[in-house]
Amino acid sequence: MSAIVPSQIVQYIDETFSEDEKSGSRPIVLDPDRSAALNALLALTEQVPNALLPSDPKVYAQMVRGLEEIRFSVKKAELQDLQFTFVHGFPDLRPSAPGKPSAVGVIKVAFAQCPDEVTPRESQEFGFIKDPEIRYGLLRDLATTRSALLNAEWNAATVIAGSLLEALLLWAIKQRPGGDLQSACSSAVSKRALTKSPPADPLEWDLHQYIEIAAQLGLIEGDTTVQARLAKDFRNLIHPGRALRKQQDCDRGSALAANAAVELVARDLRLRFP
């Protein structure tokens, strides 16, 4: 199921309840059609990720109250006796007080203030990277891969997480002196973690080399190394020939595995670069 963003809630309200909004504080008659539309609004709001909900406590509380008013009123309409409805008509959803906006209007105002994605610069993650531009670029990729996970975009979630894994390991490796890198490369070859020593410039390495050298340098733990190797294998599925030979494709498992590797690497680097 794809995640819903706040602008989609606003758009739905504009398209579905435009006449009700024009009438100001006029009650919404809860006939079957309007009740169904309101139930759909409730369902859509439940699919908005928590990170995108209103951050202002007062606005959030008003939004929750509006949702509960809708839920209560629609339930009341659904349970109303048919004979009573025939005599008295359908119940309605009224504003809390004269001149006040309807519950639908309150919800629209709340979501109109919300962004459709978390602003990376506000994140506290990857705090061990002090260069603001490098950190911001990595945070954008992190936000993208998490969004892909929420939207069941397994190929994107797998591939972007693999790229993020490369970038984090490259950053960490470049913090070490050249002598340490030469020693780690020789050790990786002697232990057959690598078949040959990688190029002198780490920028020319691939994910496999980043993982094994980072492990030799003690930048990542053993469990992290295992998870990163799995992520490497899944990321290689972006090449059609390999995917065909392996008879595999990116799926929820590969996406979660790649993102788990990112989380573990970030955990280890946070401890090593306080």
Q: Please say if the pLDDT value at position 241 is more than 80.
A: no
Q: How far apart are CA 204 and CA 41, in angstroms?
A: 51
Domain segments of the chain: what residues? 6-112, 120-272
Q: What is the pLDDT of residues 136-160, one digit of tens each?
A: 899 989 988 888 887 788 888 998 9
Task: Provide the pLDDT confidence category of residue 181 given band limits of 50, 70 and 90.
Answer: very high
Q: Please say if the pLDDT value at position 122 is more than 50.
A: yes
Collapsed DSSP state (helix, strand, coil) of residue 25 = coil
Q: What is the pLDDT of residues 70-114, one digit of tens each?
A: 999 888 888 777 777 676 667 778 776 666 788 899 999 999 999
β-strands 92-93, 28-29 pairing: antiparallel
Q: Please say if the pLDDT value at position 207 is more than 80.
A: yes
Give the chain's mean pLDDT.
85
Task: Provide the pLDDT confidence category of residue 235 given band limits of 50, 70 and 90.
Answer: low
Task: Provide the pLDDT confidence category of residue 250 given band limits of 50, 70 and 90.
Answer: confident
Q: How far apart are CA 14 and CA 18, in angstroms?
A: 5
**252-272 helix and 132-150 helix, angle to the nearest 10 degrees:** 150
The per-residue pLDDT for 189 is 96
Q: How far apart are CA 254 and CA 154, in angstroms?
A: 7
Q: How far apart are CA 2 and CA 47, in angstroms?
A: 8
Mind giving me the DSSP string for 67-96?
HHHHHHHHHHHHHS-HHHHHHH---EE--S
Q: How far apart are CA 148 and CA 24, in angstroms?
A: 39
Start-to-end CA distance of the chain, whole Å, equals 38
